[in-house]
Structure 1
Amino acid sequence: MLAILMSIALATLDTAIANTALPAIAADLNASPAASVWIINAYQLAAVATILPFAALGSIIGQRKVYLAGLMLFVVSSLMCTFAWSLPTLTGARVLQGLGASAIMSVNAGLIGSIFPRERLGRGLGLNALVVGTSFAAGPTIASLILSVANWPWLFAINLPIGVFALVFAWNALPLGQTKAQKFDYLTASLNVIAFGALIFSLGQAAQMGSRFSVLLAFAIFLAAGTLMIYRERAHPAPMFPLDLLKRPMFALSTLTAFCSFATQGLAFVSLPFFFETTLGRNPVETGFLMTPWSVVVALFAPIAGRLSDRYPPGLLGGIGLAILSAGMVSLALLPTDPSAGDIIARMIICGAGFGFFQAPNQKALMTSAPRERASGASGTVATARLIGQATGAALVALSFGIAGSGGPLLALSIGAGFAAVGAISSGLRLVTSAD
C-alpha cells in the first residue's frame, strides 16, 4: 500500500508543480509562454488519452504488471526531464512521463481494492484520497519552496529516489491479481486515444484563448472518435469505455460527482493565485502559504471520511462534503475588499474540509458499484473523471478572464461553487438509487 501511495503522490504532484514552475522553465529554455504551455499539455494529453486503455490492459495481463511498467517509465522519464536541454526534449519527456503516470493511475484504485477487504475498502481509499488531494493542493507550495533554493530540473529530480524506492517496495509487495484470457483491442484503444486526446486539446486551446476553429475542430474529432469507439464496443461484455458501468445509476452518479468536485478544485487552484496576488495584492510567498490550509485540512479529513464510508452511505457523506465545499467557494468569492490572512485561511479550511470529506466515500461508491471483474475499468474511470474535471476547471478559468477581465477570479470561484452544488445534488441522489 505504501508503494501505491508514493507513486500516486508522484503522479499527482508532478501535474501541480509543473504549472507553478512554468514561467521559470520557459525563461531558462528561451521558450515563449504560448509554446511552453505544451510542457503541461503534453503530460495531460498523454495521461488522459491512455488511462482507459491501460485499465483495460490491466484486466488482461494483470494490474500489477501495468502498475510496475508505469512506475518504471515514470522514473526513467523523470530522469529525462531532469536533463532536458530544450523545449522539444522536455516536451517529449513529459509525454513519456504522462504515459507512466497514466498506467499508475489507471489501476491504483483496483489494486487498493485487491489489498483491502470490501468492508474496509473505505480506509484504503481514504488514504488514497488523502494523497491525491494533498499532492494536488500542495503542489504550488512545494514547487515554490524548491525553486527558492534550486533551479527547475530539481522539480523532476526529486522523483528519482522516491520512485526507485516505490518500485523496489512494490516489486515484492503487490498482489499478482487476476487476468483474463482475451485479446487487447488496439483499434478501440486508438480511437480512445484520439477521442480523449482531442478533448484535452480542445480544452487546452480554449484555456489559452486559441482560435475558435481549432477548439471546435478538436471537439468535433472527440465526438466522432468517441462515437465510433462506443459503436464498436456496443456488444462487448467489458468495454474499454465503461458504458456498461455508466448504465448503473450508482456508478454514473458517482462519476458525475467526481467530475464536478475536481472541476471545482481545478477552478479554485488556477484562479486563487490570481485572486490573491492581483485582486488582493498578496505576494507569491504569501499566496503559497494562503493556499496551504486547503491541503492540510484535506490530509486531516480524508482518512476520517474513508473510515466513515465503511459505516455510512457514500451519498450522504459526499453530499455533505460538496455542500461544504460549495459554501466555502461562495465565502471566498464574497471576501471583503481588504481581508486579513485569518479571513482567507478560515475560508480555505472550509473548502479543504468539504473536499476531504467527499473524496474517499465517492471513490468507494465507484469501486463497490462495479462488479469485481470490472475493477480495472472502474479504477480507470476514477482517474479519468479526476483529470478531465481538473482540465475543465482550468479551461473555465480562462473563459472567466475572457468574460469578466480582472473580475475573472471571482467569476471562476462562483462557477466552482455551482459545480460543487451540482456534485452535492448528484451525490445525494445516490441515497435513493440502487447500485444496479
Structure 2
Amino acid sequence: MAVNRSNQILIIVMIASFLTPFCGSSLNMSLPDIGREFHAGTSELSWVIETFLLTCAIFTVPMGQLGNRIGKKKVFLIGTILFTLSSLVIHFAPTIHWLMVLRGLQGITAAMLFSTGTAIIALVFPPERRGWAMGMNVAVVYIGLAVGPVIGGFLNYRFGWQSIFYFIAFLGMIATIMTILFMKEDWVNKEQGYMNPVSILLYAASLVMGLYGLSEIVKLPVAKYIFGAGIVTTIIYIWHEARAAKPLLPVRIFLENKTFAFSNLASMLNYSATFAIGFLLSLYLQMIMGYDSETAGWFLLVQSIVMAALSPVMGSLSDRYGSAVLASTGMGVIAVGLLVMWTAMNLSSTALIITALIIVGVGFAMFSAPNNNAIMGSVPPAYFGMASSVISTVRLLGQVLSMAIVASILARNTGAAGTAIANVDKAVLLANIQYSLMVFMAFCVVGIIPSMIRNK
C-alpha cells in the first residue's frame, strides 16, 4: 500500500515536472517566428526565455519556505492552477515586451512547482529507493525536453506559436485534477517556513541586477554598473543570511556541508553549460541551415531521448556506487559533445550535430540524477524542503546564467542583436553561436573539479 501511494505521488510530480521543460523546449522552436511577428532581434528573443527563468529563480526559495509554512501540497496545487491560467493569458500578448512580462508571471507559478516537487518525492520514498525516484523524475523532465521540440515545432509550423501555450494549458489542467484527487498529505514544517522580507528583497535585487547587467553589458554602457551593483548586493545578501537567526537560505550549510556545497556548484556550472544549447541550435538549424521549425524539432529530439532513457539507470547506479565518479565523468562527456557540435557547425554536418547531441545526452544523464541524489542524501529529512528549493534555484541560476552569457555574446555585433531577426548576418550569428559553445565547454571542464572533490 505504501509503495502504491509513493508511486501515485511520483506520477503527479512527474506530470508537473514535465510542464516547464516542455514549455521551454517547445518554445525554442517558435522563437524565429516570434521574432518575425514582433520584429525582435536575437537578444530580445533570449529575454523571452530569460525572463521566465529569472522570476522563477527569484521566487523558488520563497515558495519553498511558503510550502514549509502552509504545506507543500497547497503550494504545489496552487502552482499547477496558476501555471495553467498564465499559459492561456500569454495568447493575448500584443508586443514582445508584453510577452516577456507574461512569461515572467508564468515563471512565478513555475517556481511553486519547482520548489516543492523534489522535496515531496524525497519525503515519500525511503533512502534506498530515492535515487531511482529522482531518476524517474529527471527522466520525465527529459521526456518533456524530448517531445517539446517535435510537438512545439509541429504546432508552431501548422497553427502558430500561440497553440503551444494552449497545449501546455491542457497538460496543466490534467496535473491540477490529479493533484486534487490523489495527493492528500500537506507536509507542513513550520519551523523551516520562516519568511524574511529583507532577505527576499536582497535576493531578488542581486539576481535582477547581476543577471540583467551581464546580459546587456555589451549593448548598454550602464550595464557594467548594474552588474557591479548586483555583485555588491549579492555580498550583502550572503552577509545578511549568515547573521540571520532564521535565514531565507541557510548559507551556513554551504560552509559546513562540503558535499552539499560542491554538488550545487557543479550543478550550476552544468546547467550554465547546457541549457542554452537548445536555443542556439534552434537559431542555427532555422536561421543558418534553413530548416523549418517542424524539421528542426526532430533534431533536438535526439538528446532528450538519450537523457530520458538513461537517467533512471544512472540514478540507480548512484544508489549503489555513489555520485562523484558518475557525475564528474558526465561533465567531461558533455564537454566532448560540445566540441563535436562546434566541429559539426564548421563542416555544416547534420550527422555530426546528431552525434554531438547523443554525446551531450549521455553526459547529462550521467550527471543530473546522481548529483541530485548526492544533494538530497547530504542533508537530514527535516531539510528536504530547503534542499529541494536549493536544487531548483541552483538549476535556474545556471539556466539564467546560460541565457545571459548567450545574450551577451549575441550582442557583440549589432547585426546579431540590434536588428530584427530576418535581417541577421548569418556569418556573425554562426560565429557567436560557436563562441558560446566554447565558453560552455570551459564551464564543463571547470565543473569537473567540484564534482570530484565533493566527498574528499
TM-score w.r.t. the length of structure 1 is 0.89
Within the alignment, does 1:258 sit opposite 2:267 as a pair? yes
Q: Which residue of 2 aligns with 1:423?
A: 447
Give 1:125 shift.
Answer: 0.9
Structure 1 residue 335: Cα displacement: 3.3
Partner of 1:222: 230
Alpha-carbon deviation of 1:399?
Answer: 4.4
Q: Contact 2:345–2:353 at 8 Å: present in 1 too?
A: no
Q: Deviations over 1:389-413 (max 9, x none)?
A: 1222223334445399442333322
1:120 shift after superposition: 0.8
Alignment partners' CA distance in 2, 1:395 and 1:424? 22
Q: Is the 8 A contact 1:331 1:347 kept in 2?
A: yes
User: Are 1:322 and 1:423, in contact at CA under 8 Å, matched by a contact in 2?
Assistant: yes
Contact 1:319–1:358 (CA under 8 A) maintained in structure 2? yes
CA shift in 2, pair 1:344/1:22, >3 Å: closer
| Mapping 1:140-289, distance limit 5 Å | 140-174=149-183, 175-181=185-191, 183-206=194-217, 209-214=218-223, 216-236=224-244, 239-247=247-255, 248-276=257-285, 285-289=294-298
1:24 aligned onto 2:30? no
Q: Name the structure 2 match of 1:46.
A: 55
Per-residue deviation, 1:98: 1.0
Aligned residue type for 2:396: L
Aligned residues with identical type, % of pairs: 26
How many residue pairs were aligned? 428
Mapped contact 1:258–1:385 kept (Cα < 8 A): yes
1:24 and 1:335 map into 2 onto residues whose CA distance is 25
Equivalent-residue separation in structure 2 for 1:337 and 1:227 (angstroms): 42
TM-superposed CA distance for 1:237, in Å, is 5.5
> What do residues 200-255 of structure 1 show as CA deviations (whole Å, max 9, x unaligned)?
3224324xx431312x2332332343333333332445522231221211011111
Corresponding position of 2:140: 131
* Other structure's SS at 2:242 match: coil
Q: 1:212 to 1:107 in 2, by over 3 A?
A: farther
Partner Cα separation in structure 2 for residue 78 and residue 285 of structure 1 = 21
Shift of 1:126: 0.5
Task: Specify the code of the residue in structure 1 equivalent to 2:203.
Answer: N
Structure 1 counterpart of 2:364: 355
Q: Is 2:324 the partner of 1:322?
A: no
Normalised TM-score (structure 2): 0.85
Q: Following superposition of structure 1 onto structure 2, how do residues 47-86 of structure 1 map, counting pairs within 5 Å?
A: 47-86=56-95
> 1:102: Cα distance to partner?
0.9
1:252 is aligned with what amino acid?
A
Q: 1:238–1:244: 8 Å Cα contact kept in structure 2?
A: no
Instruction: Give a deviation string over 1:255-302, Cα, whole Å, max 9, x none.
Output: 111111111213432333444456666665553322221111011111
C-alpha distance in structure 2 between counterparts of 1:44 and 1:336, whole Å? 28
Residues 130 and 298, structure 1, Cα contact 8 Å, conserved in 2: yes
Q: What letter matches 2:238 in structure 1? A: I
1:380 match: 389
Deviation, 1:340, is 4.8
In 2, Cα distance between equivalents of 1:233 and 1:306: 33
Return closer, same or farther for 1:281/1:85 CA change in 2, 3 Å cut-off. Answer: closer
Residue 12 of structure 1, CA deviation: 2.3
Structure 2 residue runs without a partner (length 5+): 1-9, 414-426
Q: Is the 8 A contact 2:60 2:112 kept in 1?
A: yes
Q: Tell me the distance in 2 between the aligned counterparts of 1:97 and 1:284.
A: 24
Give the corresponding residue for 2:4: none
Q: What is the aligned-residue RMSD (CA, Å)?
A: 2.7
The Cα shift of 1:352 comes to 0.7
| 1:62/1:178 contact within 8 Å kept | yes
Residues 75, 160 of structure 1: 8 Å contact kept: yes
1:198/1:218 contact within 8 Å kept: yes
Residues 371-392 of structure 1 deviation map (CA, whole Å, 9 limit, x = unaligned): 3222222111111221221222
SS of the aligned residue for 2:393 comes to helix
Q: 2:432 aligns with which of 372, 394, 408?
A: 408
Please report how far the alpha carbon of residue 57 of structure 1 lies from its aligned counterpart in structure 2 after TM superposition.
1.8
Whole-Å separation in 1 of the counterparts to 2:113 and 2:134: 15
C-alpha distance in 2, partners of 1:373/1:143? Answer: 40
Alignment CA distance shift 1:315-1:112 (3 Å)? same
CA contact (8 A) 2:194 2:248 kept: no
Specify the code of the residue in structure 2 equivalent to 1:187.
Answer: V
**Offset of residue 196 of structure 1:** 1.7
SS in 1 for 2:275: helix
Letter paired with 2:202: L
